[in-house]
Amino acid sequence: MLICTVSGKGGTGKSTVSSGLAIAAANMGKKVLLIDLDASLRCLDIIFGIDDKIVFDLSDAIIEGNIKKAIYPAALYDNIFIVPAPAEGGIDFDKLKNLLAAVKLDFDFIILDFPAGADFGNYAVFSAAQFIVVSGADSVSVRDAGVISGGIKTNAPPRLIINRFDIDMIKGGMYKNIDGIIDASSTRLLGIVPADGELLTLSVNHSLKPRGRAAKAFTRIIKRVSGEDVRLPKLKKI
């Protein structure tokens, strides 16, 4: 299955969500390829503890027509493999799509971690993918998520992940409630990820505690994306 994580604004948590979903899938025994598309701001290599191992990146893979050259195993997970983003320069998305065809059958999930920005032309290349729009719960982020999902024309409609959720912010009236967020973004909810210090330090620890709040949230999401009917827990338990 091909998953694309996107958002209009930067810093909504696309790379964190991509990494968390990869970890959840790996914990379920699935094999995951995680491709960093944020050319100048690559981070998945640091998150997964392999930044000192990288010789080739996605631009080398595209130039040579061979993605296997730029696939690196994560430091702490046997089933997660990373393709680092080019240190500089753009990405030819049509060529990337062709490269993916060669490894499609080797992985249960291929996750494309996009840079911020409404690159609808690039999104359209992956019309068979499940797009995930990552949003904060604040109204600016939610409106942005609505604009992005409205412009994505894929076979399956894009789904929403609300990231950095904190029940106290809803109670305090700073954020809208969950229904309000879904209405304002007109996007079907896929899941909610808590604001969690463990995610802030992912690039230090390179792993998540399998029974922690964050890992549980990502496990629910990866199950839903695979077609399982997993209920949202009570908001205070997220």
Footprint of ligand ADP (CB under 6 A):
7, 10-16, 43, 116, 163-164, 193, 195-196, 199-200
14 vs 220, which CB is nearer to Mg ion?
14
Residue 20's binding partner, choosing from Mg ion, ligand ADP, none, with beta-carbon cut-off 5 to 8 A by kind?
none
Residue 13's binding partner, choosing from ligand ADP, Mg ion, none, with beta-carbon cut-off 5 to 8 A by kind?
ligand ADP
Residues 24-83 that bind Mg ion (CB under 5 A): 38
Residue 86's binding partner, choosing from ligand ADP, Mg ion, none, with beta-carbon cut-off 5 to 8 A by kind?
none
Q: And the tokens for 82?
A: 């990373």
15 binds Mg ion (CB under 5 A): yes
Residues sharing a CB contact under 8 Å with residue 21, sequence separation 6 or more, in sequence order: 3, 5, 109, 111, 218, 221, 222, 225
Residue 34's binding partner, choosing from ligand ADP, Mg ion, none, with beta-carbon cut-off 5 to 8 A by kind?
none
Binding mask 154-193 vs Mg ion (x if CB under 5 A, - otherwise)? ----------------------------------------
Residue 219's binding partner, choosing from Mg ion, ligand ADP, none, with beta-carbon cut-off 5 to 8 A by kind?
none
Task: Give the shortest CB-57-to-Mg ion separation in angstroms.
Answer: 15
Contact 165, 192 (CB under 8 A): yes
Chain-centroid distance, C-alpha 102: 22
Q: Angle between the 14-27 and 213-225 helix axes, to the nearest 10 degrees?
A: 80
Binding site for Mg ion (CB under 5 A): 14-15, 38
